Structure 1
Amino acid sequence: MTNKDIRLISTGIRNLDTILGGGIPLYSMNIIAGSPGGGKTILAQQILFETIRRQPNDKTLYLTTLSEPMLKVVRYGQRLNFFDADQFGERVIYHDIGSFIYEQPLSGLVDHILQRVNQSQAQVLVIDSFKAIRDSVDNPVEFRRFCYLLSVRLASARCTSFLITESDCSRINHDPEFAIADGIIYLFMAEQNQEQRRFLQVYKLRGMNPKMNPIPFTITADGVQVFTSALAISQQPIPEKVSSQPLSTGIFGLDCLLQGGIPQGYSVMVSGFSGAGKTTLALQFLLQGVEAGETGLLFYFEDSRHSLDSLIHRLGWDLASLEAQGWLTIISIPHPQIRLEEQLEQIREAIQTLKPKRFVIDSFSVFLSKTEHHVIQREKTYIITTLIQQVGAVGLLISDQVIDDSQSHSHFGVQGTVVDGILVLSSAIVPHLGFRDGIRRYRYLEVLKMRSVNHITGRHRMHITPTGIEVLYLKATAVSENTSVIPKPLQFSLVQDLVQEQLRFNQAWLVQGEPGLGKSILGLQFAIEGLQHQDSVLYISADVRFHQVCERFSSLNLLPQSYLQSGQLVILDPLSPGKTAISLSDPEFLLYILTCQLEQMSKPCRIIFDSLVPVAINCSVEEFLSFIDDKNRLLNHPDVVLLDIWDQRIGITDKGYSLWNTFDGIINLSIPDWGEMNQRGNRGYPTLQLQKLRGSLIDPRPYPYKISLPQGIVLQNYYD
């Protein structure tokens, strides 16, 4: 006979039927055992009320014996939500048979019980307490015969019965009622993580294949709640097909590292020390989902929900509105109130009910801290990741790193092998010339692991800004796939006559010279000529403020306002407040800002950096040369040309050649030694010399020039 051949009745208690293998066999006799206060009476009453709720025509009977008075049983039962006062006495019938047991011999008790069952037409019977009957009998043979007759007579009466007895598990192998019973459910208390917990264990259930390991449960106003997350998820199918479209994290640089985002169905651990930005990253991930029309679910296990609300508000989102509209569900449980199995069940129900596309646990290490056993921690991690996979969501599990173990990327060291991906947020103190104490702390993000994703490896700088996290991932701008399109020539009339070929974009120029020779004027001329030929211009002014740059444009007969308003001209400087402000003390972040700005500019585009000196004095020689090399490489594009301005007086030790080598073209402004012509009081004429232009034939001779407004620098073929 298989389980399919056995008719079952449901207990009506969520998850308990699953543990039992489907339910309680019809007409069976079952024992609910355990120490006093274990929850036996509540469990039995809950089964009765759930039976009449599920079976509109059924009746149930509750018989009290010589233990707890019936009045108390009813009074305490009324405080539970499952107790239905309208059905009390009609379909859930209570009787006290204590006086019969006390006054009459055991031989008549079976008939008396069956008489009560027949009178009430009960399909389900509870006797509480059955131990009181056993204690009233001196002859064990007589009591065994009584148990057998009761079992046979109740089955003949088509009645399923539950006998409540106060016994510990040691009596199961000795007392006759346990041998005769068809099923045994044992309730007990045990210490777990220094707290007392309730457990339920099925010792026996004839004809069924129950789960026989201890199962945690709790008692609430709703009655007994059994937690079987591991068993429940094993019965849920994994979706055969999950969308291959990754979900954006909401952080552009991180999406680039991940080749587009996180694959659906993945669980990703976000690891880092306190204050690393883990919660900020998780919130950006959830809020990006809202923008994409995807629901999010956050379980927050930290102590203060207020700090979470404040952070969401600082990111510019109306939390109350998001929750009211159903886009975001936040379940906050303070650390002291966490019960591992209860919260795991709550997580399972929320995920399977809400089916969010994005899911976050913050902090997962706080959640797992309720158990010290690595095997259990790994098991719970597996359950969470399976739940995420089953609904095709993406889950972020926030994990704190152990302070003295930077090599471990999770608090307990067991989650990393279970999850699909690991993001590590870290920081480091580095020497920095631009700060008073000579050091600076940099933040980093690394994609340590992402299964089946060709992610970018290595640590990458990140910033936490008022709008969230920015990852400074810099990559060379992609070259247009349409190679048949020839970029238009570069118009640079000042030096065009010194080059035999037509000037072109996709080059980096350096204008060098001492102060007062017109380097900035040359840069402005280069920008103006571009604007007049419909090129966009990104002008970085490192020495003067935004409004002073505008005045300089005006002095060369170009009014910049219309170009600024249209976006054809963008001026950035470190001195003015607002959106045009930049920082020169962090070259890597500066390069990230320039890269992002360039992506927004129309093409062709001219980038003028006036000047490189403030960057150079804020970092070491090696850092500066690395910045120049990265800038010229990453901003390289067929429709982009770079022009940097440099003060020749600033020494960079013996690496001048290295600086020169990173540029395609070099223009030198100087006042040469004119020998005898350099008379006292006559400093001589400034000259412009095209010293280098990679891949072109040039005229390298120095040419004198004059500066006049509004023309700017004007080359001369003769000397006055």
Structure 2
Amino acid sequence: MNSPPELDPAPLPTGISGMDDILRGGFPADCVYMVSGTPGTGKTTLALQFLLEGVRSGESCLYVTLSETRREIEKVAVSHGWDLTGLNICELIPTEGNLSADAQLTVFNPSEFELGETTQAMIAEVDRCAPQRVVLDSLSELRLVAQNPLRYRRQILALKQYFAGRDCTVLMLDDCTGSDADNQLESIAHGVVSLEHLANQYGAERRRLRVVKLRGVAFRGGFHDFTIKKGGLDVFPRLVASEHRHDFEDRDLPSGIEELDALLCGGLPAGTSTLMIGPAGTGKSTISTRFAVAAANRGERAVMFVFDENIGTFRSRSRKLRLGAEDAITNGLLTVQQIDPAELSSGEFSNTVRRAVEGTDGLGQPAKVIVVDSLNGYLNAMPEEKFLTAQLHELLAYLGQNGVVTIMTVTQAGMVGVMQSPVDTTYLADNVILYRFFEARGQVRRAISVVKKRSGKHELTIRELNITEEGVQIGPALSDFQGILTGVPTFHGKSSDLLQQGGNGN
């Protein structure tokens, strides 16, 4: 009788949730993997997290270091708040005796015995610990000792064969200091993870990783941003909207302003994105805040990502204009996060939004309203990104499929007449609300209109918008004026429905 085929063991979690998401659960067990990257990309940190996850699971784990001392590794652990108790560390680095003059005098090539000694010491430690997880740091030392590519490759093949018979999952770290020919080792490993460290022209550096290969696993391809902070690597998997489809109720989100809701014929539909576009000072941020506060007043959480002003200024403006944001923030139903444009990657921002929507950010329940104020700040935060619009499209698709109402503001250059936008995003948005300044009766006034609503009808009228310390006022349709959107309208009527002016807005 034929015995049933053995099932593959469950993948080993890495201890990094984002990494496990990319690997579809972790590294497949009992295989050899290569983790490559230049110095400073985070290889040692990733390796320690992988081993410590094994220690927490009760596994025997071994760190074999060929370049760093135990003390240096312990310093890395202390910086992250980790306890290395239970982790076996094997140092295979040259001793002080190698510095003496006599040690330098030999008729043999050092590689003839050093490679064999290093390998034997490593095998002896593995036999002693019988580990389930092993980290070898780093391949560059073995490469230098071997001296020629053929001997080096054969040594790695021998090590792979050795570990294959001992149910070990091995991470071999490579600092990419060898020649291009060393890429041939990628064919030996069961999987290859590449870490990169990029320096922008301004602002913080950016780190990203890519799974080059992982045999037998439909891993998440492409580049994924990550950061190194206290506690280890925080990996932000590339957002794929098609993987996050959820049913939601078909409803409208009202603003609480009767005239504005009339313009929208009820409010903003769930699962849609809205672009509020116009010059600076026309009231885009104020109206966005009103929608967020209206959601909070109904017991739903709203999150505002503020690029262009600090939280202190936001709260002060909200109090002066009686927007009600203060109570919503106190109740935990409105979260305002200030984004530093120079310290952010697009992947990190997308995952910050995702965690808010899924309620895993630790700041409250899942968010139903997301406000990005403004897209100008978002674009300026990542000026070196080549595919920022494509990433924004993926983010909006994800939010729409989760029933979230997304509001974005865009500030156009100019005050009246022809306006210039930093990027054309109107085609991405389901709804577009247009803001304009216009001149009337010797005063600069504001106008608001809805020019696009993909999922329903809306008014085609233009109304006056007035923002004062008494709150937001929206007047009746400006039917007696023509040319308001040009900034200098003409009056064609016997009466005017202009509001009493006063105050200012954002």
**TM-score w.r.t. structure 1 length?**
0.60
* Cα contact 1:35–1:188 (8 A) shared by 2: yes
1:304-343 matches, within 5 Å, as: 304-316=310-322, 319=325, 321-343=327-349
Identity percentage over the alignment? 25
Which one of 294, 303, 312 corresponds to residue 288 of structure 1?
294
CA deviation vs aligned residue, 1:603-630 (integer Å, no higher than 9, x gap) = xxxxxxxxxxxxxxxxx996562449x9
- 1:210 counterpart residue number: 219
Note closer, same or farther for the CA distance 1:384–1:193 as it changes in structure 2 (3 Å cut). Answer: farther
d(CA) in 2 for partners of 1:473 and 1:168? Answer: 70
1:96 equivalent to 2:99? Answer no
CA deviation vs aligned residue, 1:86-135 (integer Å, no higher than 9, x gap) = xx242x221212259x8954345444323322322311101112211220
- 1:533 counterpart residue number: none
1:416 equivalent to 2:411? Answer no
- 1:177 counterpart residue number: 185
d(CA) in 2 for partners of 1:409 and 1:358? Answer: 28
- Matched residue type, 1:423: I
Which one of 436, 441, 444 corresponds to residue 426 of structure 1?
436
- Matched residue type, 2:78: Q
* Cα contact 1:193–1:371 (8 A) shared by 2: no
CA deviation vs aligned residue, 1:125-180 (integer Å, no higher than 9, x gap) = 01112211220123443322221111011121100001112216963x54553332
Note closer, same or farther for the CA distance 1:622–1:43 as it changes in structure 2 (3 Å cut). Answer: closer
- 1:129 counterpart residue number: 138
- 2:152 counterpart residue number: 143
d(CA) in 2 for partners of 1:410 and 1:303? Answer: 20
Note closer, same or farther for the CA distance 1:358–1:228 as it changes in structure 2 (3 Å cut). Answer: same
* Cα contact 1:193–1:370 (8 A) shared by 2: no
d(CA) in 2 for partners of 1:384 and 1:94? Answer: 43
- Matched residue type, 1:379: A
Moved more, 395-404 or 36-45: 395-404
d(CA) in 1 for partners of 2:140 and 2:385? Answer: 40
d(CA) in 2 for partners of 1:468 and 1:356? Answer: 25
Note closer, same or farther for the CA distance 1:375–1:267 as it changes in structure 2 (3 Å cut). Answer: farther
Which one of 462, 476, 481 corresponds to residue 465 of structure 2?
462
* Cα contact 2:276–2:432 (8 A) shared by 1: yes
1:191-230 matches, within 5 Å, as: 191-192=199-200, 194=202, 196-230=205-239
- 2:412 counterpart residue number: 401
CA deviation vs aligned residue, 1:422-461 (integer Å, no higher than 9, x gap) = 111111123x2xxxxxx22221001111102111114221
Which one of 251, 271, 277 corresponds to residue 271 of structure 1?
277
Structure 2: state its 5+ residue gaps.
Answer: 1-6, 99-109, 360-364, 482-488, 499-506
* Cα contact 1:9–1:23 (8 A) shared by 2: yes
1:291-302 matches, within 5 Å, as: 291-302=297-308
- 2:362 counterpart residue number: none
How far apart are 1:319 and its partner, in Å? 4.9
* Cα contact 1:271–1:423 (8 A) shared by 2: yes
How far apart are 1:420 and its partner, in Å? 0.8
- 1:625 counterpart residue number: 494
Aligned Cα root-mean-square deviation (Å)? 3.1
How far apart are 1:373 and its partner, in Å? 6.7
Equivalences, count: 465
1:153 equivalent to 2:162? Answer yes
Moved more, 291-300 or 445-454: 291-300
- Matched residue type, 2:91: D
Note closer, same or farther for the CA distance 1:467–1:341 as it changes in structure 2 (3 Å cut). Answer: farther
- 2:400 counterpart residue number: 389
Which one of 370, 391, 397 corresponds to residue 381 of structure 2?
370
Structure 1: state its 5+ residue gaps.
Answer: 433-438, 477-586, 589-619, 631-720
1:36 equivalent to 2:39? Answer yes
Q: Which runs of 4+ in 1 moved over 6 A?
A: none
* Cα contact 1:52–1:60 (8 A) shared by 2: yes
**TM-score w.r.t. structure 2 length?**
0.83
d(CA) in 2 for partners of 1:149 and 1:27? Answer: 15
- Matched residue type, 1:253: E
d(CA) in 1 for partners of 2:178 and 2:430? Answer: 42
- Matched residue type, 1:400: T
1:359 equivalent to 2:370? Answer yes
* Cα contact 1:268–1:420 (8 A) shared by 2: yes
d(CA) in 2 for partners of 1:467 and 1:155? Answer: 74
Note closer, same or farther for the CA distance 1:364–1:406 as it changes in structure 2 (3 Å cut). Answer: farther
d(CA) in 2 for partners of 1:141 and 1:357? Answer: 59
Moved more, 272-281 or 186-195: 186-195
Note closer, same or farther for the CA distance 1:254–1:468 as it changes in structure 2 (3 Å cut). Answer: same
d(CA) in 1 for partners of 2:201 and 2:32? Answer: 36
d(CA) in 2 for partners of 1:472 and 1:164? Answer: 66
* Cα contact 1:269–1:398 (8 A) shared by 2: yes
Of structures 1 and 2, the larger Rg is shown by 1
**SS state at 1:293 partner:** coil
d(CA) in 1 for partners of 2:419 and 2:171? Answer: 52
**SS state at 2:387 partner:** helix
d(CA) in 1 for partners of 2:367 and 2:88? Answer: 44
* Cα contact 1:304–1:334 (8 A) shared by 2: no
**SS state at 1:313 partner:** helix
